[in-house]
Amino acid sequence: MANSKYAVIMAGGSGTRFWPWSREDTPKQLLKIVGQKSMLQHTIDRITPLFKPENILIVTNILHKEKIQKQVPLIPPANIIAEPVGKDTAPCIGLAATIIHKKAPDSVMIVMTADHVIEPAIRFVKMAEIAMNMVGKNNSLLTMGIKPTEPSVSYGYIHRGNRLLEENGFSVYEVESFKEKPDKTTAQRFINTGEYYWNGGVFVWKTAKILECLTKYTPNLSLGLQKIGAALGTELEWTTVEKEYQAFEKISIDYAVMEKAKDVVVMEVDFTWDDVGSWFAIERWNKKDNLGNTVLGMHYGMDTNSCIIVNNEQHLIATIGVSDMVIVHTKDATLICNKQKAEQIKKLVEELKQAGHQSYL
């Protein structure tokens, strides 16, 4: 009998690197960073050819549940799963697996995040289909490996081992090891070998298999998930989730399971992938004017070059003699930042919080 197939979209991130456009109550997955739809809507569009809406689950923070329901009315409200507090990807995936497993013990699930750009979508669907069928047969833990296009220090890497099989142009390898975000020299060395991939954060496995691994490697988390599982569908469901989440350790699925498990495989993929991690993604995915500026919203510039300007108010931004800047205007906060310093926005948000400017976050 074929396994029932489910998609899980993790939509809990806060996207602080996109402050002040991205806020605690409207994180980046709900913003129209690429084209006329939000990142989450693009993600749903990408997978609907393969999954019925009732087989798509979105796991998010309780704060964002209503906004997500408005953005994706296709998805049944019961499939938008709220976490009381973010505890990284292992509890998030564990919760989704627990819910699916209760409904369909024979299921295979694919896990992805809500804020990645993947082009062309049709190639992703093909990869997902092949991966899910494969995992249904051999019960491995599959992760997606993206061929690096540059020695990036922003991603973790996967070191591949022997090739296991090839299907429809997708090669699958044993995983030798997972590597933390490297420095530039190490990243270059990884790329030179041709044996490393970026860790794209897309996983495929049987729900029974991932729950079994969580039991083995994170027994406390597993115990909490079992209590949640027992309370599903009862009036104690939400109070149980709240109680257990308080006790959960903040841990990623990579640390919790993937780096420890034996039967982990990586599928090499050939589509364009972008985790839209910073303002530079605006430049990559939107048109530039003839002076190299990427402008979303109203702007008039004199002698203005290579700037990223985002303005989501009926408000004119005018610039003279500026270059290589990120300028973002919202109704209650404005950011002016040298492009070279854009990676410090996350730190700025932390400092604003400590300085008592919480209402602007």
Where do the domains of the chain lie, and which CATH numbers do they carry? 5-274 (3.90.550.10), 280-360 (no CATH)
pLDDT above 80: residue 1? no
- The per-residue pLDDT for 14 is 75
Q: For the purposes of burial, counting CB atoms within 10 Å of the CB of 129, is it exposed (0-12), middle (13-18) or buried (19 or more)?
A: middle
Mean pLDDT of all residues in 6-11: 97
Confidence of residue 12 (pLDDT cuts 50, 70, 90): confident
pLDDT above 90: residue 197? yes
d(CA 290, CA 251): 45
Mean pLDDT of all residues in 6-34: 91
- The per-residue pLDDT for 2 is 65
pLDDT above 80: residue 72? yes
d(CA 205, CA 194): 26
**208 or 274, higher pLDDT:** 208
Mean pLDDT of all residues in 122-127: 94
pLDDT above 80: residue 15? no
Q: What pTM does this model have?
A: 0.94
DSSP state of 31: S
Confidence of residue 270 (pLDDT cuts 50, 70, 90): confident
Mean pLDDT of all residues in 40-52: 96
CA distances from 26 to 14, 121, 221, 260, 352 (A): 8, 25, 29, 35, 18
